[in-house]
Structure 1
Amino acid sequence: MNSKSLNRIPLYRQARQQILERLCDGEWQVAESLPSEWELAEQLSVSQGTVRKALTELVADGVLYRQQGKGTFVAPGADDWAGMSMISPGLLSESPDRLQREFLGVARGNAPDDVSAALGLRRAAPVFRIRLLWRLRGQAVALDEVLLSAERFPALDSRWLRQLPGVWAVLQQHFGVRLRVATEQWRAVVLERDEAQLLAAVSGTPVLSHLRLAVDVNGAAVEWRQRLCLTDRLALTLQHLPA
């Protein structure tokens, strides 16, 4: 980015980007307090008001959080379920059990047209296709298909996907990319034979398809994901954080 294009970016957005880069470089860890607004303003050579506006936007994006009278802290990154889980139908107060992840594999291929459009890639661009199986108390309950740009993440290693708790953890730890869900859709579909075998279900069983697009902190599309959920005995739920 040259100086002319940089000058066209609002000053608070430049400060926001510099803070993000320092976060991604590991300067501050999860739950660690950032320097005061005055200290950051001095470090970034901007006004305290500019820093406050940059921090407010990062708080809104879920990258940081504030505690009254204590300061601004680094928020933990969301996991692959982004606040969702599976619980007994109708029991809205039930505390969800932890889902166990099973890494099924990763393969390189070409993006279908709808995925290319969603991720802003050229037609048939190379992508990584990752499959994950989720279990609840040992029973398979959901199957994920995740597509990521192979050009943006050429160093993606299957060992990381085996070792870490999910795709989002890999992207944050190894690439400094934090994700949030930007848009999502739900609809009823039926299981194909391969999907049914992985979920230990009958081919043609109705399931809930949860299709979503996740973006990074700059709003760029990063991840396309379809999750197939068995909802004959369980319900998909979203745990809202208190305001």
Structure 2
Amino acid sequence: MIRSQLRRQPLYTQIKTLLSQRIGEGAWQPNEMLPSEWELAEELGVSQGTVRKALTEMVTEGMLYRQQGKGTFVADVMGDWAGPGMVPAGLFRSRLELPAAELLGCSRVNAPDELAEALGLKRGAALVRVRQLWRLQAEALAVDDAYLPAERIEGLDAKLVRQSGGSVYNALHRHYAVRPVLVQEQLRAVPLPREEGVLLGVGEGVPVLSITRLTASLQGEPVEWRQRYCLTRTMAYVPDHGRVA
């Protein structure tokens, strides 16, 4: 049955919301096949066409994927790199490479104004900060600080992240039934701060690519604010649509 608080939405949107909630709660795991459109329609008391429209939109958004002749499957949880690969600067037909993450640690901090506003928290609210170093062919390439609301992810620490393959997003999915989705990513050219310069083995003030990201749960609740500093002296950051022909 459709929950009463959803009834003001178009019917297919209601179905999409309910299926998203179930995926977020772990009803179906990544790469697991959903019931057929007919089975979902019968269970939810709607037409097969309504279910198909909801699933099609979820496929377009990357939450699901289809295999011809088989069915509709839950897409993998977004990786912590969560975006394009890297290529040698100026080489347009090189294969994309994805950096590997090294967990540096977890700590507790208080939310400054910018983070509190983005995450829908009060100023000074407790945050968990997860720091990761990204390497490409053993060379330090980028450093991340991921900030998450401590009250919403109680118990998240370095041990739990390591148990989840070193991935913050896998930890959210496996231990908190939160499937993170990208809300927005902002890119700027900035001078590298001193502390991050030490971690990356370069000097303070070196021009780098700053990538700020906000992610949310499938229900739209902000769950992470992430700051990445990425070296681009020899490697180029390729948008998601870029690919080798």
Contact 1:188–1:206, Cα closer than 8 Å, also in 2: yes
1:76 aligns with 2:58: no
CA change 1:234–1:4 in 2 (3 A) is closer
Which residue in the other structure is 1:207 paired with?
A: 208
1:87 is matched with which residue? 87
Question: Does residue 231 of structure 2 align to residue 230 of structure 1?
Answer: yes
**Which aligned pairs between 1:5-44 and structure 2 lie closer than 5 A?**
5-44=5-44
CA positional deviation for 1:232: 1.1
2:180 maps to which residue?
Answer: 179
Shift of 1:10: 4.2
1:179-210 CA deviation, whole Å, 9 max, x = no partner? Answer: 23222222222222211111111122221111
Work out whether 1:190 is the aligned partner of 2:191: yes
CA RMSD of aligned residues (A): 2.2
Alignment of 1:147-186 (within 5 A): 147-163=147-163, 164-186=165-187
TM-score scaled by length of structure 2: 0.87
Match of 2:64 in 1: 64
Aligned to 1:133: 133
Deviations 1:36-58 (Å, cap 9, x if unpaired)? 11111112222223322322232
Aligned length: 240
1:9 Cα deviation (Å)?
4.5
Q: CA deviation at 1:111?
A: 0.9
The range that moved more, 170-179 or 102-111, is 170-179
C-alpha displacement of 1:115: 1.0
Gap regions ≥5 residues in structure 2: none
For 2:207, the aligned partner's letter is P
**1: distance between equivalents of 2:223 and 2:45?**
32
Ranges in structure 1 where 5+ consecutive residues have no aligned partner:
none
CA distance in 1, matches of 2:242, 2:190: 30
Q: Does the Cα contact within 8 Å between 1:61 and 1:217 map onto a contact in 2?
A: no
Q: Is the 8 A contact 1:208 1:228 kept in 2?
A: yes
- Segments of 4+ moved more than 4 angstroms: none
Moved more, 203-212 or 92-101: 92-101
CA contact under 8 A between 1:83 and 1:240: conserved in structure 2? no
- Sequence identity (%): 50
Superposition TM-score, scaled by structure 1 size: 0.88
Greater shift, 48-57 or 223-232, is seen at 48-57
Q: Distance in 2 between matches of 1:213 and 1:21?
A: 20
Q: How does 1:47-58 map to 2 (within 5 A)?
A: 47-58=47-58
Question: Which range moved further: 6-15 or 172-181?
Answer: 6-15
Return closer, same or farther for 1:73/1:89 CA change in 2, 3 Å cut-off. Answer: same
Q: Aligned-pair distance for 1:146?
A: 0.8
CA apart distance, 1:165: 3.6
Of the structure 1 ranges 126-135 and 233-242, higher mean CA displacement relative to structure 2 is found in 233-242
Aligned equivalents of 2:162, 2:29: Cα separation in 1: 23
Report the Cα distance in structure 1 between the residues aligned to 2:19 and 2:186, rounded to whole angstroms.
33
Q: Distance in 2 between matches of 1:191 and 1:25?
A: 39
Q: Which residue of 1 aligns with 2:108?
A: 108
- Tell me, in whole angstroms, the C-alpha distance in 2 between the residues paired with 1:141 and 1:117: 29
Alpha carbons 1:82, 1:180 under 8 Å: kept: no
Aligned to 1:99: 99
